[in-house]
Structure 1
């Protein structure tokens, strides 16, 4: 199956931050991102969430990711926010509650195919006992 999606990533850059470092933090999570700099923020785009998915698997946070994706999902895609400080260390940490004082990494994923639910299953598969389960393995 071919998965087609585009992620738009918007990150505020505060006066106390170095724009290149903020870009590096985002690249730690989304290595293929391409940026445009705007006043007070960077806006990035990527068509690959493979490395992001690998980090979710490595950190064993698939259930958390699925929960965050479905909170802000619609028929066109889903959105989520990540902590900027964690991204500097190459760690995925979902932002919940009040935004960090440096601002969060806002990600909006638009899914072209096969569909939002199938794409979420691809990026963060359902789990049983903490292990990913493929659709044909579910009871």
Structure 2
């Protein structure tokens, strides 16, 4: 089994019409192991655990979409993406594309220390075969 060494940083705005605790819940629903801090109109979080997020990618059968998003936004040390806040709060992965949602999106940046970015993406969202995902291996 490969050991992955990563750092995940999440950030989301808190709008005047929102309750701060709900924005915190938005982040901790998909990334329950996050250490969260609030900074006035922003919530930030860090984690090294993406197991729940990965499980949801498999359950929602959106591995191809996720891979596409991850590879489109990768750099030499990691990749980033944005999630819609409303969906995230409901434990649903919905990638934000195009214009930002009026509530703002959850920005996610994953830095990969080991082994490398492509190998981690292969773990997080493995390639499907004719659209069929591999069986979820659990943790």
TM over 0.5: yes
Cross-structure match for 1:21: 22
What residue is the counterpart of 1:120 in the other structure? 121
What's the counterpart of residue 105 of structure 1?
A: 106
- Rounded to whole Å, the distance in 2 between the matches of 1:50 and 1:115 is 18
Q: CA deviation at 1:71?
A: 1.2
Gapped runs of 5+ residues in structure 1? Answer: 135-139
| CA deviation string 1:105-132 (max 9, x = no partner) | 0000000101000000000000012223
Q: Which residue of 2 aligns with 1:5?
A: 6
Question: Which residue of the partner structure matches residue 88 of structure 1?
Answer: 89
In structure 2, the residue matched to 1:78 is 79
- The answer as to 2:48 corresponding to 1:47 is yes
CA displacement at 1:88 relative to structure 2: 1.6
After TM superposition, the score normalised by the length of structure 1 is 0.93
Please state whether the residue corresponding to 1:132 is helix, strand or coil. Answer: coil
Residues 47-92 of structure 1: CA distance to partner in whole angstroms, max 9, x if unpaired?
A: 0111100000000000000011111101100000000010121111
* 1:57 aligned counterpart, secondary structure: helix
Unaligned runs of 5+ in 2: none
* DSSP 3-state at the match of 2:74: coil
Q: CA RMSD in A?
A: 1.2
Give 1:137's aligned residue: none
The CA deviation at 1:133 is: 4.7
